[in-house]
Chain A
Amino acid sequence: MKKWLISLLAMSSALLSGCQTNMVVFEPQGPVARSIMELINWSLLWMLLVVVVVLTLFGYIVWKYREKKENMNYEPPEEHGSTTLEIIWTAIPILIVTALTVPTVKTLYALENVPAGYESKKPITIHVTSADWKWIFSYPEQGIETVNYVNIPEDTPIDFKLTSAGTMQSFWIPALGGQKYAMNKMETQLYLVADNPGSYFGRNTNFNGKGYAEMEFEVQVKTEKDFDEWVSEAKSSAPKLTEQQYEELLKPTHLGRLTYSNTHLAWVDHSKPDSKSYTNPELYRGHGYPGKIFEEEDNYRSPDAQKDAVQNLENKDAHRGDTHGH
């Protein structure tokens, strides 16, 4: 148990002193992630206390009362318990739990609002749509859509509105804040702010099939000037996304980065309860025994979807499992 104790101590002292740990959770790059880290540090402190107390007690008792040659004749006493002790070890954990509860609840409520200190700044709304296995970011105010990367200005609250075109995903940029699910016909919401320009890593953490491991994106935090420049450049030079292209985009594939000068919100908002479903099970055929598929009225069926599916099946023996070729 010494080993654990030492490594735990080492870990937490490293964390608390805030030095380089390579642990993204402990290197927050924005107020949201920072508030969570503070909560985590608070909990670590208490947990450390619990661990130290219990391990000390444990080590002492096991060592002192172990069976030895000398004490073979020792017959342990009959004892049934102690009300005082029972009360102590019920009450103290209750106090500890209370000490953890209060900041937890506070943080939970705080996370639903624009982070403290940024209320005066108008948030930028970005709609995040996850599809198999890519991330689509729509900037309705700017009229831009990007795939697999998202640019945001520094020090500005971003109001991410999350939804999914199909399976359930979880949207996570660990350096900037915690995660939330993106679900079809549902809208979840997440505020994040970045302190400094830089490139951060974002990804899906909720398992959603074959291409899950590679479902990542990049967050580029820019100065406000750079951001505005990027917006106007994108508006002028990026192509327009058509509905047909969009349907192509939703197929289960891996894509590189893309930029468009309009958004798909014009024809579908997947978070609306009655929005169209774009499912095509044929595209998800894998190995093994094929099961029955149910036709849905609003299933997405482009003319060549069937062809794709057949091809998919034919190729599957050649490279099973790596349909994602990047």
Chain B
Amino acid sequence: MGINLKEMFYFNDPLIIGSQIAIVLTTIGIVAGITYLKKWKWLWTEWLTTVDHKKIGVMYIISGVLMFFRGGMDGLLMKAQTARPEMGFLDAQHYNEIFTTHGVIMILFMAMPMLIGLMNVAVPLQIGARDVAFPQLNALSFWLFFAGAMLFNISFVVGGSPDAGWTYYFPLAGKEFTPGIGNNYYAVALQIAGIGTLMTGINFIVTILKMRTKGMTLMRMPMFTWTTFVTCVIIVAAFPILTVALAMATFDRLYGTHFFTVSSGGMDMLWANLFWLWGHPEVYIVALPAFGIFSEVIATFSRKTLYGYKSMVYSIVGIAVLSMVVWVHHFYTMGAGPAVNSIFSITTMMIAVPTGVKMFNWLFTMRKGRIKMTSAMLWALAFVPCFLIGGVTGVMLAMGAADFQYHNTLFLVAHFHYVLIPGVVFAVFAGLYYWWPKMFGHMLNERLGKWHFWLFVIGFNLTFFPMFFLGLKGAIRRSYTFSAASGFSELFLLSAVGALILAAGFAVFCYNIYWSVRYADRNISSDPWDARTLEWATASPVQYYNFAYLPEVKTLDAFWYMKKNNIGIKLDENQIEEIHMPSNSGLPFVMCAVFGIVGFFLVFEWHLAAAIASIGIFAGLIARSFDYDHGYHIHKEEILATERAWRQAEGEVNTRVG
């Protein structure tokens, strides 16, 4: 295994050299900064080894925001390239790499961590628990995700980017047609991150089933907790499929097997089949928690309980079940015959029914309410019309025969951005504006928030609405250029301009974070929105033990009920007992490094090195098996002191949006 540095860091491409320099400089900057501020110890004890679900949530969110930058930059580059016909800004190879990384990063390394991050922050609090069921596993999940994300991201500057689309269709993605190592990154990095996600799924299922506080029956759970639970069920049912599909892909690429190859009996259709068996549930994995966030936000800012709570629950369960039986709608054109296509057309269209139930329930939650136009609520409001368009075009795609004309055109690209951006990105923004005070003890600036909102929503529609028409005119996806004669030019330009506005919106959001961290008022209520669920019953930012003692729940919207009836709000000091907490652990972080290294060696096909490095994985597992750490206890006095302090400060609060 000779190592050729020239080929590893191909030094002949300005774009890539630029990125390499930027990465090196940023890394040096960060290391120097931390050293200068003497923050290494703090970083290690407070963050890298933490098992606190709230901190893990914050780390997920930070990674998600960073990945949004990367994915967004990819999106902007693509828009720049197709702004005019026959542009020479990117060549075909670059464009292919960029849409591949854009798709993967946006879905797996942006949407997933953002939502899992918010789950981590909110769900244990919403059910009145001290932490998740397996705090250390939770940390490991995060660090595996992180290892996968980092491994995937270095592909742009080391060794070559994957370039077979986020759908990674074989045989193109196999060694027969892409012999470079670029596509190895996809198979290996997604595998590592996927294992992390699977463990998150198991962790939250157990947490939600077993760790609800007294009186919180399933039908009293906040809607975000419900969607998290159902999402995790889908994760557990879908991610193992990805694990196997990726294992097959890895074997084909690294060891010359014949699962999806052209030669020796392989079948490329099997990849498409397995990919979408996972891939379709995956889009609901990202959409359902988003629906949960909207439910919380809409109920809070309409000052009403969620309309049709029960049918909301049944509809998410319905969506979850249906999501497992629609995968073929992504390849109606593969020629499986009218019987197959008919069945899957029907199952797919049926998803419109439970989704519609949710839509109407949201609308009727607002009816007779008092709708407060905070930034968080604005996102939820914009979601309704935008997602509606994405949804109905989805139903159009679902009609197998019609899909023969839409498939792989920009109509499809418009559809999925119209569901993914309102359905995920809007929700994440809504969630961040909503839970920000809970996470950090200060609010995001509402005025900047509105700028962010309007720029982003207008830019989004301007970018993607023209794509419906482009698709109907015959413009295809994944094409790096188009001819002037095609008549696509105006709409493409319009779309590019929209993307700039969109980016400006996101830039305002980043500035908002910066501004708020520096200048926002710290003197705010622990319940600034007059909200309804238990996470608002404790301090902001939340004490590391969450609750002094676990609250008792009597109804849905538990905290609202507590406030209205003035029960359980005041601290009952007699109820305070010692609290048992799990200890921090450096093992997850070490495992992240080991997995990253093994993954890197595998990507470069240095099998011996990978085998040796993977001993580290087993060492980690053994170390964990022999770890009998029982955690520690917080003493009563400490709890009392903390509680008295924040409850006293609460009286002097001057910031409350109420």
Contact = CB atoms under 8 A, between A and B. Distances in A.
A66 B656 CA distance: 19
A29 to B, nearest CB: 13
B649 interface: no
A320 to B, nearest CB: 6
Interface stretch (B33-41, B105-113, B338-346, B429-437): B338-346
Contacts of B253: 291
Contact of A62 (B161, B309, B371, B403): B371
Contact of B401 (A26, A104, A286): A104
Contact of B366 (A24, A62, A82): A62
Contacts of A66: 371, 373
Contacts of B363: 54, 57-58, 61
A239 interface: no
Among B13, B159, B182, B404: residue with most chain A CB under 10 A: B404
A320 B310 contact: no
B407 to A, nearest CB: 6
Interface in B32-67: none
Interface string A53-97: 011011001100111000110111111111001100110011011
A104 B400 CA distance: 7
Interface in A17-76: 21-26, 33, 35-37, 39-40, 43-44, 47, 50-51, 54-55, 57-58, 61-62, 65-67, 71-72, 74-76
Nearest to B3: A289
A48 to B, nearest CB: 9
A43 B262 contact: no
A289 B4 contact: yes
A284 B353 contact: no
B305 A209 contact: no
A298 B263 contact: yes
A133 to B, nearest CB: 10
B236 interface: no
A36 B349 CA distance: 18
B8 A289 contact: yes
B91 interface: yes
A167 B334 contact: no
A207 interface: yes
Interface in A140-199: 166-168, 170, 174, 177-181, 183-186, 188-189
B160 A108 contact: no
B408 A288 contact: no
A62 to B, nearest CB: 6
A288 to B, nearest CB: 2
Interface stretch (B191-199, B477-485, B507-515, B518-526): B477-485
B465 interface: yes
B381 to A, nearest CB: 6
Contact of B269 (A22, A111, A132, A186): A186
Interface stretch (B114-122, B165-173, B237-245, B444-452): B165-173
A303 interface: no
Interface stretch (B354-362, B539-547, B567-575, B639-647): B354-362
Contact of A112 (B265, B268, B338, B399): B338
A209 B179 contact: no
Contact of A81 (B262, B303, B308, B395): B308
Contacts of A72: 370
Contacts of B161: 288
Contacts of B399: 39, 43, 100, 104
A110 to B, nearest CB: 8
A24 B473 contact: yes
B342 A104 contact: yes
Nearest to A8: B389
B396 A184 contact: no
Contacts of A112: 337-338
A288 B302 contact: no
Interface stretch (A115-123, A210-218, A222-230): A210-218
Contact of A322 (B91, B171, B335, B389): B91
Among A75, A168, A207, A213: residue with most chain B CB under 10 A: A207
Contacts of B307: 79-81
B7 interface: yes
B349 A284 contact: no
A296 to B, nearest CB: 4
A207 B160 contact: no
Contact of B404 (A180, A289, A297): A180
B264 interface: yes
A205 B304 CA distance: 48
13 contacts: A47-B393, A54-B384, A55-B388, A65-B369, A80-B305, A108-B342, A166-B262, A180-B404, A188-B335, A213-B479, A288-B161, A289-B604, A293-B175
Interface of B: 4, 7-8, 10, 12-13, 91-94, 96, 159-161, 163-165, 169-172, 175-182, 184, 253-254, 256, 262-265, 268-269, 302-305, 307-311, 331, 333-335, 337-338, 341-342, 345-346, 349-350, 352-353, 356-357, 359-361, 363-364, 366-373, 381, 384-385, 388-389, 392-393, 395-396, 399-409, 461, 465, 469, 472-474, 476-482, 487, 604-605
Given A65-B302, A183-B269, A210-B92, 4 more contacts: A40-B402, A66-B373, A105-B346, A108-B338
